[in-house]
Structure 1
Amino acid sequence: MRSIRPSSIASREGRARRRNSPVLAAVALASALALTATACESGDAAAGGEASASAGSSDDGKLKIPDDIRDRLREHGIDIDKWKNGAWKNWDRDDWLREANEYINPIIEGLWDPDRMRDAEEPDQGVDDSDLSGDQGVTDPTPEPVEAQAVPSSYHANAPTAGKVFFDSPKGSAVCSATVVKDPAHPGKSNLVWTAGHCVHAGKKGGWYRNIAFVPSYNDDGKPVAELENATREDVAPYGVWWGDWAQTSDQWIEQGGSTGGDGAPYDFAVIHVTPEKGSGGKSLEETVGSALPVDFKAPAVPKVKSVTAIGYPAAPPYDGQKLYRCQDQPGRLSVTTSDPTMYRIGCTMTGGSSGGGWVATGSDGKPALVSNTSIGPVTSGWLAGPRLGEVAKGVYDSVSKKFAGR
């Protein structure tokens, strides 16, 4: 999760005036691409790729991309041939796409190998918990820390909807947690994943992250780091690697989100539509893992929620990011700014890397449902906070679902 450092009151008031419309941030172009390449390096942000023959190649072995798609990419300064050969590693500010319709995420087959997955780090920087101001609206007392409990292996048997999101940022390969959620347009056959907005987009000072991929039931057997050093891809990703061919977050996160300070945190959520890197025999993600959680956008107000369970792969010390953990607690309220929705907050010792992980509670229909995701927490750990999912979140979710309704 991201750490908390409040911004100045003046800047908050300026942002509040821009929050008069829950405009959705649609993410374009990615669904039109299915670039398959083979990684030539692994384990760090310098890994690149070369086109493989399975990527719709011509007789001379060159990748075939429809001219209209290639032209649209070049409008944004992207040469797809250069991209697959390593241009994605260029994070120059002028070339870093950040607007809602500029997201691209071509598949680079084999890029996320076991070493690169294991070495991915949480994208967070810590600050002292005392930096959180106490005059920002309704905020309950800081909860007592709840010790995170290891989820028994196999993870697929005990938490089948949980997994990891891997991506590349200017600082290198990074990792978050995520949850398989239901798709109303495809009952029983969802390809939707829920995570935090800061796991797909850098917010107000950056753009879209790259090479975004979801691995359900990562390290399903819960092997320690020493045993993973010689692990195969099937060991760490038994249900495959699923690339994000479409992603969407809130307009508020893109305009206001920051790596520290809680800016944009009440809108720090995202939905990713995924496609398998190497095919799945025609099965959807939900069919492959055998489960998906409904999302409850009408969960009770914080004081009426008796218990919430947060789940994720904490990567910052004392954890190593290789095992799945969860915390259960009664949530309290956290108000980062008076103009934004109040967030859920629970006691939990999970650290960075658990960002984006699902929060599950009894939904409005009496059944388990996703009601939030991990967004922020202090450097000292001890608690986590997540957004309460309302109309803006529902708009993001519905938009992605409808985009793929006829496919």
Structure 2
Amino acid sequence: MTDDQLRAFWTPKRVKEALRNPAKAPAKRPALDRTATRSSPPPGLTASAPTRGFDANTARSEANAAAGMSVSQEVPPGAGNNIVGKLIYYSPATGKLTHCSAASIATANKNTIWTAGHCVHPGDGSGQAGWSQYVMYYPGYSRGDGPLGEWKAARLLAPTAWTQDGDAQEADVAAVVLNPRLDGNLEDVVGYALGYLFTENRTDYGGAAVMGYPGEGYQRSDLDGERLMYCAGDTTDAFPINPFDDRIKFDCDMGRGVSGGPFVWGPQNDPRIVGAASHVALDDADQRISDDLFSSEHGSHAAALINTANGA
């Protein structure tokens, strides 16, 4: 699809529709039999890179967060807010225009964002037919304004464990490689990109933050998807008694729309992505039962994915 075709599709009316329709988290699926499919991770499938161009003096919230805060608040103004943005797209699975959250991530091409797998594919085994269409990104989106304009997707990348199996424990992750613009690459225009730390069997990160654009929340009625919000605190192992489930849990009330938003941890001058908002805890009636917000484990699947993006 050409940039002109994409631009023609996204009329102002369609953009508004997508921006007010936050993506729904993955549907509940039967638990995978980990004992039969997983032993030790393949060798060499970890990945890390430092944040590039980050100025801690102008962007505080993306860095280390000292106090726990499960009730989300708006990210304070600052140039660093442009690291996170809104991803809008058409979902063939639902027939709807919708949006997720995403973040600039350091890659060789300087044009990649990190998000959740369910923002680019429903994870239902539908193959090529399931991929999101007309995908565009607005870094720094706030209250109807995309201060750095629109960026068009060139490639959507997600693990086969997500697209075929819907594995939310280990593989609800995605990378979107964007087309460069006449004024430069995404990283050049934004000014920086978050680093990352993807490693097996690690879930506990003290002093972390999660950011995104929630259109709803747990016991909240004031979230509209128009503001960049964040929670701060420590991440934990979602199910410490299960050695085959290393999802990352954050106490945070953000809901639909935060999907794909980065879990960020690290020193204030080097904040790195360690997870991405994936799903929440629901009862049998699909009602949220707590403020738990989960990320898939960012281990071998995430490492392989960022390595692929680095080669794109």
Name the TM-score class by shorter chain. Answer: 0.7 to 0.9
Aligned pairs for 1:326-405 within 5 A: 326-335=230-239, 340-362=244-266, 367-378=270-281, 379-403=288-312
Q: Which has more radius of gyration?
A: 1
Residue among 118, 122, 127 paired with 1:198: 118
> Which runs of 5 or more residues in structure 1 are unaligned?
1-32, 38-106, 138-143, 229-235, 258-262
Q: Structure 1 pair 366/145, CA: closer, same or farther in 2 (3 Å)? A: closer
Aligned pairs for 1:75-86 within 5 A: none
Instruction: Give the TM-score normalised by the residue count of structure 2.
Output: 0.74
Question: 1:393 Cα deviation (Å)?
Answer: 1.2
Aligned residue for 1:388, secondary structure, equals coil
- Contact 2:264–2:272 at 8 Å: present in 1 too? yes
Give the distance between the partners of 1:112 and 1:294, measured in 2 at CA.
34
Aligned residue for 2:305, secondary structure, equals helix
Question: 1:205 Cα deviation (Å)?
Answer: 5.1
Residue among 273, 297, 307 paired with 2:207: 307
Give the distance between the partners of 2:103 and 2:182, measured in 1 at CA.
19
2:196 corresponds in structure 1 to 295
2:38 corresponds in structure 1 to none
1:214 corresponds in structure 2 to 137
Question: 1:331 Cα deviation (Å)?
Answer: 1.4
2:4 corresponds in structure 1 to 36
Aligned residue for 2:88, secondary structure, equals strand
Aligned partner letter, 1:357 = G
Give the distance between the partners of 1:267 and 1:125, measured in 2 at CA.
12
Between Structure 1 and Structure 2, the one with more helix by share is 1
Question: 1:266 Cα deviation (Å)?
Answer: 1.9
Q: Structure 1 pair 147/395, CA: closer, same or farther in 2 (3 Å)? A: same
Between Structure 1 and Structure 2, the one with more strand by share is 2
> Which runs of 5 or more residues in structure 2 are unaligned?
36-67, 282-287
1:175 corresponds in structure 2 to 99
2:169 corresponds in structure 1 to 265
Aligned partner letter, 2:20 = D
Query: Which of structures 1 and 2 has the larger relative contact order (alpha carbons within 8 angstroms, sep 6+)?
Result: 2
**Aligned residue-pair number:** 261
Give the distance between the partners of 1:309 and 1:192, measured in 2 at CA.
21
2:41 corresponds in structure 1 to none
Residue among 155, 162, 167 paired with 2:84: 162
2:44 corresponds in structure 1 to none
C-alpha offsets along residues 224-260 of structure 1, whole Å, 9 cap, x if unaligned?
Answer: xxxx5xxxxxxx1221111111011011001211xxx
- Contact 2:18–2:89 at 8 Å: present in 1 too? no
Instruction: Give the TM-score normalised by the residue count of structure 1.
Output: 0.58
Aligned partner letter, 1:267 = A
Identity of aligned residues (%): 24
Give the distance between the partners of 1:285 and 1:362, measured in 2 at CA.
22
Give the distance between the partners of 1:161 and 1:381, measured in 2 at CA.
28
- Contact 2:123–2:162 at 8 Å: present in 1 too? yes
CA RMSD of superposed structures (Å):
3.1
